[in-house]
Chain A
Amino acid sequence: MGETFAIKILSRAAGKKVREGEIVFVEPDYILTHDNSSAIIGKFESTVPGGRIRYPERVAIVLDHVIPAASSKHASGHRKVREFVREQGIANFYDIGTGVCHQVMPEMGLVKPGSIVVGSDSHTCTYGAFNCFATGIDRTEAAGIWITGKTWFKVPPTINIDLTGAFTAGVSAKDLILTVIGDIGAGGANYMAVEFNGPAVGGLRICDRMTIANMGIEMGAKIAAFPANIVTSKYYEALDIPITSAIWSDYDAEYARTLEYDLENIVPVIACPHQVDNVVPVGEMAGMKIDQIFLGTCTNGRVEDLKTAADILRGEKIHSSVRMLVAPASRAEYLKAMKMGIVEDLVSAGAVVLPPGCGPCLGAHQGALAPGEKCLSTANRNFKGRMGEKEAEIYLSSPETAAVSALSGKICDPREVLK
């Protein structure tokens, strides 16, 4: 039998043949941290006072979670990061306004096919979209890797998700990944790698791959990865970065489990409170009044997502009973949206545009909810209290569903508008 992506990439990194269940030590190509770097700096300095980062060129820091600073305490954290970056000579530092870390890392060419990336953020799995072995770690481990340059992984078994067909009108990548999570559950891929294979992979755009890989963690996956193909080649050509290390599973790889999805059969879905695997067809929730709509995040804040919404809202007005917040995933995506007239369409319709960053997703600032309010969000988590208020409800959907629902202030099936 052949080998999976996880076995092959970890074998290459460890410099020996590895097998499932084995613990291997590897040196990640990049270590991402964000606003939480200020806490990581404290750990680094107390462990190796006056020490230097082992490989500063492998460290990337993006300030994105609470930007601009919401309080003096947040501002002090940001300042500590800026000072440390200067002291340690960290070149890959991206200050507020550059964008959400998971959008910025690929944009800056820091995640390359076949590389191993860790980040002190659970959605680091997003880089699986680019054929990376990418996964989340905690702050302590990030401090440890700054010091030693290495960490360990247990070689995971793999779930193969085989995709055929093409999406129908009004249905998109978010509906697919929510459907998968609803099917296998919040812990369905715990400790496992997930590979996306099959003929439909060739038809997915980079933004679709990112939406899908981003939510791998919501089913517990260690990584969620795609093969490099013509779509990836074009992305890296535009960045003028040669692809030299792409790697993928053998055609006869042995999987723990294979799931098959025909994209033709995927329908618009919503994850209801307070779990991402609480997934139902949008139709079941149609007509439910919502108070806030949030379009953005590392899951669905790219220009394609904003365009989807603008195409629906152009020349229309958001219903007076609902407010709509839009946070572009990065400055680059924001600029593209401005040049395309998308920002004008959204603002004219009544949307409030936030700076490129995580925005209200994590509940620390911007667009918090009041008790009892309902938010329809294109983000990746609807946990109780996630948006700052435990008595609020968060529903997760595609940008299509979010935008059509903005027109009536009630949850609406996008296929009723997009035919």
Chain B
Amino acid sequence: MNKIPSALSLGIRRGGLEIKQFSRQRESVVFTLLFPVILLIIFGSVFKDTIAPNVTFSQYFVAGMIASGLVNTGFQALAITIPLERDFGALKRLRGTPMPASSYFIGKAILVSVSMIIQILMLLGFGALFFGVDMPTDINKWITFTWLTLLGSACSTALGIAFSIVPKSGRGASAVVTPIVIILQFFSGVFSIFTQLPTWMQQFAALFPLKWLTQGMRSVFLPDSFASQEVAKSWENGKTFLILILWLVIGVFFSVRKFKWDRD
């Protein structure tokens, strides 16, 4: 008798299916992938100032938008769509098959990674072409960028799956999730200069991953001379790494232990 396919191979198959489904939902493709670019166009056109020597607001903003893109495509998208799938009964049906939960999670992670890659390419492309955003030339900066993106995606995916147990229904999910994301974006210095925010806001934001992702992305896209203008007078990338790992563990724990397949 043939063997049941492995969890990993089913996860990859699910990833392909998720991408196919996603690409056929035109509204969400436009909203999820183009929205950050639209914001870049708006902010880049309104704020033309230089905030430090050789640092334009666009440069600062691209770093923030890439970081918050990780939160949008992972946490926000999953915490909204998974309750919808649960309402449809699609999750319960999956649970009745030999497909393991881990394959479902792997499929979601693949979807998040692919939309993230597309989003990053569009942001960097638009930023470089129209708003004079400089690309880093130091290989170490690209290494930082790579681990930040990988760890940030994983963390965001896990927290999105974990948070999907919070909204009571698919219809209400957006109303629960979206304000949290927008508040975190404001508090974490995505739309403004972080150090100009009130201290209590900065301290609150420091509890969550977005602030650290944003700061990490600034270490990639801003000159090292700017590090002295951060709250801690340095990029704190080691601390960012540890905080993201911690949130990843929290997200995976709740995803594995508390995931809800059924409405009841």
- A joins B in a complex: no
Question: What is B's interface to A at a CB cutoff of 8 Å?
Answer: none
Question: What is A's interface to B at a CB cutoff of 8 Å?
Answer: none
